[in-house]
Amino acid sequence: MIKSLLTYFVDRHLLTNMIFIGVLVGGVVSWQNIKKEELPDVTFDRVRISASYPGATAEEVEHFVTKEIEEAVEGLDGVYRVTSSSSQGSSSVTVELEQDYPRRDEAITEIRNAVSDVNLPEDIRDDPSVRVFETSKKAILDVALIYTGAHLLDLEKRQQLQKYANALENQLVNLKEVNSVNRSGYFQEEIQIKVDPQQLIRYDIPLSQVKREITNNHARQPAGHIEIKNEPKVTINAQLDTPEKLKALYVQAGFEGQAIPLDDIAEVKRGFDRGKEITKVNGHECVMFNVVKNSSAGILEALDAVNVGVDEFKKNYLKDVPIDIVLLDDESIDVRNRLSIISLNGAMGFTLILFALFLFLNKRSGFWVAMGIPFTICFTLICGWLMGYTINNTTLAAVIIVMGIVVDDAIVVAEYIGRLRASGMSSRDAAVEGTSQVFLPILASIVTTCVAFIPLFYFEGRHAQMNKFIPPIIFLMLGASLFESLFILPGHMHFELPKMGRRSNGTPVPLAKKKGHWFDKVENWYGNMLRRLLPFKYLIFIIFVGMLVFSGWIWNSKMKFVMFPNEETRDIVLSGYADKTADRFDTAELTRKIEDVFKPYIGQEVVGYRTEIARSRRGGSVEENRFRMIVEIVPKEKRQKSADDLIAVWKPKIEAVEGLNKLVFQKSRWGQDSGSPVEVLIQENNDALRDTAAKRLAELMKQNPNLINVEIDEPIRVAEHKVDFKREKVKRLGVNPADIAATFRSALEGSVLYEFPNGDEEVDVRLTVKDDAKQDLQSILDIPVENQRNYLVPLRDLVNIEDTQTPNSISRRDGKRTTTVFADIKAKKKKITPLEIAAQLEQEVFPQVIKDQPSTTLSFTGEIYDSREATRGFANATIMVVFLIFTILAVLYNSLTRPLIIMLAIPFGLVGVILAFWLHGKVLFGFFAAVGTLGLAGVVINDSIIMLAKLDKDFCAVTRQQINGQIADIAKTRLRAVILTTITTVAGVLPTAYGLAGYDAMLAEMMLALAWGLVFGTLITLILIPCLYAALQSIGLRLKSMVNGDDEQKEEKDPCEKPAYH
């Protein structure tokens, strides 16, 4: 049946050519239409709920908002974990779903419904927002507007900057490629009514009366129409929408009393509602837009549209204006870099493959074998496009992994067809017979290679969700390669084989007989070498085992597993403190001196830098003397200095800045938000116990010689005046407690009385007291409150004040408050990994911290947590790969010994990986290197399958003295296929492994493991496999002779029995 199917395709050149050309054309069309992204389209198992409660302390936010939301969602089906952060005025709750939860969409809908039903305080004006993390709606760019002539913005400059920012935002939002634009550093415009408490006392006016008069006098509503012809409309338009109108408003008047306008008791002016944080870009306070692309647009398409929009805006509006636009955090850089690596390294690899093919095969065979690469890639593009996949970092990594593997099958087919053709067989028969002979071995090699990547579906952790897209791409490429090798290539080999010469008698002369191939000498040399080695087969086996043991010793003593060992980065992070007495403006002035150090590097090594003042690494508010700077540098291949070199240049200059109390340099770590490899989470609801545990843990961690920059991410504790009612007096004087609370809120936080439209923006009208009155609580306590009989009572007579200290932010996980302790690993101690640090802390430190606090829980988060998930998944994956490959080979060969011989290539292939990393000075073995090694398990046995299949087919049971010679003669016929498949595979990945045309750390690790593991695995195929085969045959014949009593002369009578072992 197989031969019939092969004959069908071999005889139909038009069909095979149409399929071939159709796939190539389809691939070009698919490339033009498929989306280009940074990451695959993944909906993470996380939902973030955000709510704003202006003026509330962190404890109030926790009590009235965060706990309410947590209680609403934590009991829902599919919810795995709930974490939250409550800070002054805002709440953020993150809900993690169970991994691979089957009814994810239903669970997200239930979360949305539960949040909408939560009963929140009336002061919360906006409903909580619910965001689902989807990579298809990814933030792709930060667009910052800066006023070039100003360090910090005054009222006039901010009004001008926000006017242009608002115009730019409208243009960006209107782009069809953009889903949303999130802005920061943009403050709500207000008309601020700042009442003087002393004037309220002077005129006996309660603050509630001022509030009531303003809101009652602001009106805009339809009144109906006049019942005459044309029905003219009547509209009440009595808006108080300018400071002038508000100033002229009378807040108190009577027949006998004095008419008092608002201007007499309050300052009315335009302003902005701003927080305590300051954000700067390139040394200027800024308004920043975080652009989120639409799910229907690829990242490159969306970035191009945004860049065009920004360029047009600058051209049309910013020519003669001291405002500039800075672009940061361009997420397309990695995609463009990866595409460049694919094209340049791929072209280089393709050239090397072509060279190898033409060197080892004739030109026509080499050409048609090489054409399997574009056929495979185009076929994968078509299927990927139809399946809704995108071109992204993960799918491109999969393409590079199998770039050189896809021609392996074609090489085996072409080489075998050529060998049969050289023996005198017709081109048609050689194409059919040669392909059918290698059909099962090729099928086995393809299946085992695919099986090696199946465990990627079962890796645990958030990074594993990305890697689940690697196996389908590899399956598509290997499937396309199998189809092309078995059904397209034989027809091309038959149709385009050169014409045969003629003997004098007119019979054909095979091409190989006319002129011997140069590789024939290499085959003979290999056969002779094998003859000399096979008598020492047991010694050779011992040597290889010794190498395996040696590599195991290197792994245990010299190498370590770390999640992301990438030493290069694109972000350098500085954090530090100004003097304790410095406010945010003083800190901003200090950072200005640091920013001057980076300014000369803009446009060279530095893309730009942003400065965050009074903001923690987690985004919460911290001390006003604390700052954090993120310096974005250009990709590695576009600069001569490494990140460490730049830090070495900058650090002494910055440390010399006066007024700087503390400075820490960090390189951002791939896949982690905090930048620190060690993160310990402390869970405890008792604040005192949690603080004690955090300080004790930090103290013990500082004693660890491997750790530096130990830092407790604890919130600052701010002074709080807790107000309680004098209830007996409040009741006796007839004062409404709600009026007391409202007066305090209006005086301190301010009350938004109403809002009115101003172009595209809404302007709030806020009632509060003068700034100098807010600096003294006693001034607030003098403000009068009106009772039921319209008499005024000062606040101080109605309340008690308790002074205390409270945190400005509160983090929780699963209903418990948390504190995180961060630490970095010393540069000179990089041989120790975060996982080893974690083991040390768990054994030596954690017991000391919690021995007297049984309710306190310590756990790791961040990189250590991810690494443990990955290593656990990798161990299970390795067992699964080995078992599946063994099962497939056992079924294919109906034997238990043959699969064991073939699979010896796997552990010895690992020898090549370990030695390669060690000799390259790479002592840290990362997650992506592990993925490459996992794939190696399936690739490295392909040559072993081909070699063993040939030995089983051609070997005959002869005398023990003739075993070595016959095995050497058979093995040398597979040398060309084995060497060529190895060379093409290695040639395909080596340019990427060494970054010859663009370096990518993730791909480099993966390809280095694959390339050198395969090189060493080839030695196993060419030397160890024949030695083991010879040993088993020799042992088998010896046992057979002992059982049957046969001597060697008797053995010679039947020289072509089946192999002595099975």
pLDDT score recorded for residue 500: 44
pLDDT score recorded for residue 897: 81
Mean pLDDT of 329-347: 75
Q: Is the pLDDT of residue 549 over 50?
A: yes
Spell out the residues 6+ positions from residue 171 whose beta carbon is closer than 8 angstroms to its own: 309, 312, 313
Residue that wins the pLDDT comparison between 492 and 754? 754
* C-beta of residue 870 within 8 angstroms of C-beta of residue 460: yes
pLDDT score recorded for residue 1004: 80
Tokens of 501: 């010469």
HSE toward the beta carbon, residue 331, CA cutoff 13 A: 26
Where residue 259 falls among pLDDT bands split at 50, 70, 90? Answer: confident
Where residue 508 falls among pLDDT bands split at 50, 70, 90? Answer: very low
Task: Identify the CATH assignment for 568-668 out of 3.10.110.10, 3.40.50.360, 3.40.920.10, 3.30.70.1430.
Answer: 3.30.70.1430
pLDDT score recorded for residue 325: 93
Residue that wins the pLDDT comparison between 616 and 775? 775
The architecture in CATH of the region 189-222+230-273+718-807 reads 2-Layer Sandwich (3.30)
Range picked from 343-357, 538-552, 568-582, 805-819 for highest mean pLDDT: 538-552
Its CATH class, for the domain covering 40-137, is alpha beta
The model's pLDDT over 233-258, given as tens digits with 9 standing for 90+, comes to 888 989 999 999 999 999 987 656 67
Q: Is the pLDDT of residue 217 over 90?
A: yes
pLDDT score recorded for residue 788: 86
The model's pLDDT over 840-851, given as tens digits with 9 standing for 90+, comes to 898 888 998 888
Spell out the residues 6+ positions from residue 5 whose beta carbon is closer than 8 angstroms to its own: 487
The model's pLDDT over 417-474, given as tens digits with 9 standing for 90+, comes to 887 887 778 888 888 888 888 888 888 888 888 888 887 777 766 666 777 888 899 9
Q: Is the pLDDT of residue 604 over 60?
A: yes
pLDDT score recorded for residue 726: 92
pLDDT score recorded for residue 830: 56
pLDDT above 70 as % of the chain:
89
Where residue 608 falls among pLDDT bands split at 50, 70, 90? Answer: very high
Where residue 326 falls among pLDDT bands split at 50, 70, 90? Answer: very high
Range from 721-730, 759-768, 878-887 carrying the lowest mean pLDDT: 878-887
E strands present in 61-114: 79-87, 90-97
Can you tell me the distance from the alpha carbon of 145 to that of 287, in angstroms, rounded to the nearest whole number? 5
Q: Provide the 3-class DSSP secondary structure of residue 224.
A: strand
* C-beta of residue 819 within 8 angstroms of C-beta of residue 714: yes
Q: Is the pLDDT of residue 515 over 60?
A: no
Where residue 928 falls among pLDDT bands split at 50, 70, 90? Answer: confident
pLDDT score recorded for residue 881: 78
Residues in the chain: 1062
Buried b (16+ CB within 10 A) or exposed e, 751-773: bbbbbeeeeeeebbbbbbbbeeb
pLDDT score recorded for residue 675: 59
Q: Is the pLDDT of residue 345 over 70?
A: no
Q: Is the pLDDT of residue 22 over 90?
A: yes
Q: Is the pLDDT of residue 382 over 90?
A: yes
pLDDT score recorded for residue 768: 92
Structural domain spans, the chain:
2-36+335-498+519-563+868-1051, 40-137, 189-222+230-273+718-807, 568-668, 672-715+811-829
The model's pLDDT over 936-962, given as tens digits with 9 standing for 90+, comes to 777 777 778 878 888 888 877 566 667
- Let me know if the fold of 40-137 is the same as that of 568-668: yes
Q: Is the pLDDT of residue 514 over 60?
A: no
Can you tell me the distance from the alpha carbon of 661 to that of 428, in angstroms, rounded to the nearest whole number? 83
Where residue 298 falls among pLDDT bands split at 50, 70, 90? Answer: confident
Where residue 415 falls among pLDDT bands split at 50, 70, 90? Answer: confident
Tell me 1023's DSSP state: I
Its CATH class, for the domain covering 2-36+335-498+519-563+868-1051, is mainly alpha
pLDDT score recorded for residue 611: 92
Task: Determine if residue 459 is left, alpha or beta; phi over 0 gives left, psi from -120 to 50 gives alpha, anything else beta.
Answer: beta
- In degrees and rounded to multiples of 5, residue 441 shows phi and psi of -60, -40
Where residue 1049 falls among pLDDT bands split at 50, 70, 90? Answer: very low
pLDDT score recorded for residue 513: 43
* Arithmetic mean of pLDDT over the chain: 83
Quick one: three-class SS letters along 258-273?
A: CCEEHHHHEEEEEEEE
Spell out the residues 6+ positions from residue 1060 whose beta carbon is closer than 8 angstroms to its own: 957, 1032, 1033, 1036, 1037, 1039, 1040
